[in-house]
Amino acid sequence: MPREPRGASSPPTTPTHTTSIRVGIGYDSHRYAPRRPLTLGGVLIPSELGLEGHSDADAICHAITDAILGAASLGDIGEMFPDTDPANKNRDSVGMLEAAVRRISTAGYAVGQVDVTVIAELPRLAPHRDEIRARLATALGIDSQSVSVKGKSNEGMGWIGRKEGLACIAVATLIRKR
Ligand code: MG
């Protein structure tokens, strides 16, 4: 039987170690609290309600930090920055994100792209979206076109619908540098 020519159905021959893409997911949630800042994606958003937390409670940064650490199988934010360590109290979460980027970079990865969904009844994210994307892009070492930030309400359902707090889900891809 004649051999079929190599075509679209042939298995890829590019070595996977040069094109390897890894995917990670991160989740975070924080409770609303009065007299606390509301910082999301490194941007301080004017609001009567802020977010409670040991650090600055920046749920976007925390979810992305877990996504990139997860993509590289390099642990998680709680292990890198334990809330039992007083040094982490009110810590700037963009700094935590940058530390995670350095960790995955040392392991041979660069961030490819990030997609974030914030599930919250407040604040409205749209007016702050581009500033958040730019801030995150700088921290991640990528173009802001590679950072997506989306806001969703929870249609009034459950603890998010009752405005007890907000949640954030992030997906990140990492590219092998060598
Ligand atoms: Mg958190």
| CATH number of the domain within which 124 lies | 3.30.1330.50
Cα 16 to ligand 1 centre (Å): 34
Cα 38 to ligand 1 centre (Å): 13
Helices (H) and strands (E) in the chain, counts: 6, 7
The answer to whether residue 6 is domain-embedded is: no
The answer to whether residue 97 is domain-embedded is: yes
Please give the Cα distance from 109 to 69 (Å, whole number): 10
Residue-level pLDDT at 54: 86
Q: Are strands 165-176 and 109-119 parallel, antiparallel or unpaired?
A: antiparallel
Please give the Cα distance from 104 to 26 (Å, whole number): 15
The answer to whether residue 13 is domain-embedded is: no
Range of the domain at 49: 21-176
Please give the Cα distance from 2 to 37 (Å, whole number): 71
Cα 13 to ligand 1 centre (Å): 42
- Rg of the chain taking only CA atoms, in angstroms: 19
Condensed to tens digits (0 to 9), the pLDDT of residues 12-64 reads 555 555 558 999 999 999 999 999 999 999 999 999 899 999 889 999 999 99
**Rounded (10°) CA dihedral 60, 64, 65, 69:** 160
The answer to whether residue 61 is domain-embedded is: yes
Cα 9 to ligand 1 centre (Å): 45
Question: Average model confidence (pLDDT) for the chain?
Answer: 91
Which among 163, 171, 141 is positioned nearest to 38, based on CA atoms? 163
Count of structural domains, the chain: 1
* Protein residues with C-beta less than 5 angstroms from the ion ligand 1: 28, 62
The answer to whether residue 15 is domain-embedded is: no
- Residue ranges of the chain with pLDDT lower than 70? 1-19
Please give the Cα distance from 29 to 70 (Å, whole number): 17
Cα 3 to ligand 1 centre (Å): 57
pTM recorded for the entire structure = 0.88
Cα 171 to ligand 1 centre (Å): 16
Cα 39 to ligand 1 centre (Å): 11
The answer to whether residue 7 is domain-embedded is: no
CB distance 142 to 172 below 8 Å: no
Cα 110 to ligand 1 centre (Å): 23
The answer to whether residue 11 is domain-embedded is: no
The answer to whether residue 98 is domain-embedded is: yes
